[in-house]
Amino acid sequence: MNKTKPGIEQYCNKEGSSSKSKTAKKPSSGSSLQKQYLQKEYAQQTLGSGNLRLAVHLPEGEDLNEWLAVNTVDFFNQINMLYGTITEFCTPQDCPVMSAGPKYEYHWKDDSQFKKPARVSAPVYVDHLMSWVQSQLDNETIFPSKIGIEFPPQFKTIINDIFRRLFRVYAHIYTTHFPIIVSLGEEAHLNTSFKHFILFVKEFDLIDSKELAPLSDLIESLLAQTKNQ
């Protein structure tokens, strides 16, 4: 598998790509901006990306694990790039906790520094998350780059964990920073990337539906756009 390099946490449900340098004015965070990403004028903004439903299908003769691996690297790079466009607005002051709206908060946990779930700011959380994913991609026992080396028996479980955690970055961007995305003119890139991500997730059953709850309305809308493809 050819790996392209760009540069564990606990889920808590609380009750009650552009290479051009861009800057944006930070809009107000009033209630009128809540779920702006669901407004028709934004939700239907995608790039001319062809039939994404067909694009996620396992190609004939392709090894499933290889297909999962290649796409994992691709989505990781996409999300890295998308998050990179809003990093100056996602600060410990503005985002003191990693969340996806008022009901969903994510605590970081891993096998080294954070052995117990820790409440950290969104940028710290994303940094740990991206570093963790990169470490998985760099691990030859998980993502072998040499021909003839098999993927480990638990590979699908690892892929599920990676996708579950990457989804949280999309969820944070949509629920917290979508006005910034719009002001940067990146909504089509974000929507296309997320639609592709969700179609791939659904195709290979990578994320439990309860984990997708923060963006369930958007997912329903995006999938409806592709059902006749």
DSSP character for 151? Answer: P
Domain locations in the chain as residue ranges: 31-226
Number of C-beta neighbours around residue 84 at 10 A? 13
From the list 167, 153, 154, 155, the residue with the least C-alpha distance to 201 is 167
Q: Can you give the three-state secondary structure of 162-177, one letter per residue? A: HHHHHHHHHHHHHHHH
Please check if 90 is assigned to a binding site: yes
Tens digits of pLDDT across the chain (229 residues): 655 433 333 333 332 333 333 333 333 333 333 454 444 444 344 445 457 888 888 988 889 999 999 999 999 999 999 999 999 999 999 999 999 999 999 999 987 888 889 999 999 999 999 999 999 999 999 999 888 889 999 999 999 999 999 999 999 999 999 999 999 999 999 999 999 999 999 999 999 999 999 999 999 988 887 775 5
pTM for this predicted structure: 0.79
From the list 202, 186, 199, 206, the residue with the least C-alpha distance to 225 is 199
Rounded CA separation 102/94 (Å): 14
Please check if 172 is assigned to a binding site: yes
From the list 11, 17, 3, 13, the residue with the least C-alpha distance to 133 is 3
The CATH classification number of 31-226 equals 1.20.140.30
Please check if 177 is assigned to a binding site: yes
Rounded CA separation 163/192 (Å): 17
Write the Ramachandran bin of 12: left for phi over 0, alpha for psi from -120 to 50, otherwise beta: beta
Please check if 128 is assigned to a binding site: no
